[in-house]
Amino acid sequence: MDISSLTGVLGVFIIIIVAIVTKGSAAAFIDIASILIVLGGTAAAVVTSYPIDRLKNSIKVIKKAFKDDSYQTNKTISQLSQLSYIAKRDGLLAMEKMVDEIEDEFMKKGILLVVDGSEPKMIERILSLELENMVDRHREGEGVLKAFGKFAPAFGMIGTLIGLILMLKNLDDVATLGPSMGVALVTTFYGALLANGVFLPLAGKLRFKSDQEVRYRTMVIEGILSVQAGETPLMIEEKLKTFIEQGKRNEELEEPEESEEEDDIDGVQQQEA
C-alpha cells in the first residue's frame, strides 16, 4: 500500500471536515440530491467518454496509485552483473539456469530472448514495444482520472444552477432564500472537492509511478543488451548506476554469488584489452 496516496486523500477530507465543524454545522454541507448529481453525473459522463472494456482495464491501472511499487534497482543491477559473469565464463546459453531466480517478468523475458539467440535489435524492439504499450495503458488510466477531475466541477455547477432555478421560482417566500442558496452552492463544493482533492492528485501520482516504472524498465533493457554484447560486469554496473538517484548510488550492490570466478573473468578482460 502506498501510504502517501491513502494519507493524502484521507487528509483532504479530514482537514475539510475539521474546518467545517469548527466553523459551523456539518449538516449544512450534507445534501443527498447534490451528491447524486455530482457523483452520478460525473460517472455517467466518464462512461460516455470511454468504452466499458477500456474502463475495466483502467480500474486495474488506477489501483497502481495505491500500490507500493518500490523497485529493487540495486538487486536488479547485481543480477545483471552476475549474468554477465556467467555469460563470460560459460556463454550466453548458461544464463538459463538463473532465469528462475529472476522475479521481474519483464527482465526474465529479455534474458530468455538472449538465451534463445535473438538479435539485439529484435530484443530491443520487442521489449521497447512492451514498454510503450505499458505506458499507453497507464496514460489511459490517468486519462480516466483526469476525466473525473474535469467533469466533477462541471456537474457541481450544473447542480448549483438547478438549485438556483428552483430558488428563483420561490422568490415570494423570502425565508427560504438563504437555505436554498446554501443547498445550491453545496453541489459546487462537492464537485471542486472531489476534483482537486481526489481525482487530479491521483492522476498525478499515477503519472509519477508510470515514469518511475519506465525508468526502471529502460535500465533493464540497457542491462540485458549490455550482457548480450559481452560488456564486463564492472562496466555494466557503472552504466546502470546512472539510472539511480545520485544520493542512492553509494549503496552497496550485492556481491556476485560465484566470486571465486573473478580471476577467470579478469583474465578474459585482459585478453580483450
Residue 273: is its pLDDT beyond 90? no
Q: How far is CA 43 from CA 52, 114, 151, in A?
A: 12, 46, 9
What are the contacts of 62-67 at 24+ separation with CB within 8 A?
62/141, 62/144, 62/145, 62/202, 62/206, 64/138, 64/141, 64/206, 64/209, 65/2, 65/5, 65/202, 65/205, 65/206, 65/209, 66/1, 66/2, 66/5, 66/6, 67/1, 67/2
Give 112's pLDDT tier (boundaries 50, 70, 90).
very high
Residue 155: is its pLDDT beyond 90? yes
Q: Which of the pair, 63 or 217, is modelled with greater confidence?
A: 217
What gap in Å lies between CA 87 and CA 104, rounded to an integer? 20
Give 250's pLDDT tier (boundaries 50, 70, 90).
low
Q: How many CB atoms lie within 10 A of CB 93?
A: 13
What amino acid occupies position 112?
A: L
Q: How far is CA 95 from CA 100, 225, 228, 237, in A?
A: 10, 14, 11, 18
Residue 179: is its pLDDT beyond 70? no
Q: What is the pTM of this model?
A: 0.79
CB neighbour list of residue 13: distance below 8 Å, 6 or more residues apart: 197
Write the burial class of residue 126 (CB in 10 Å: 0-12 exposed, 13-18 middle, 19+ buried). middle
What is the largest distance, in Å, between two alpha-carbon atoms of the chain? 99
Whole-number average pLDDT of the chain: 84
Give the mean model confidence (pLDDT) for residues 162-186. 75
Question: In percent, how much of the chain has pLDDT > 70?
Answer: 87
What gap in Å lies between CA 67 and CA 160, rounded to an integer? 36
Give 135's pLDDT tier (boundaries 50, 70, 90).
very high
What gap in Å lies between CA 88 and CA 25, rounded to an integer? 73
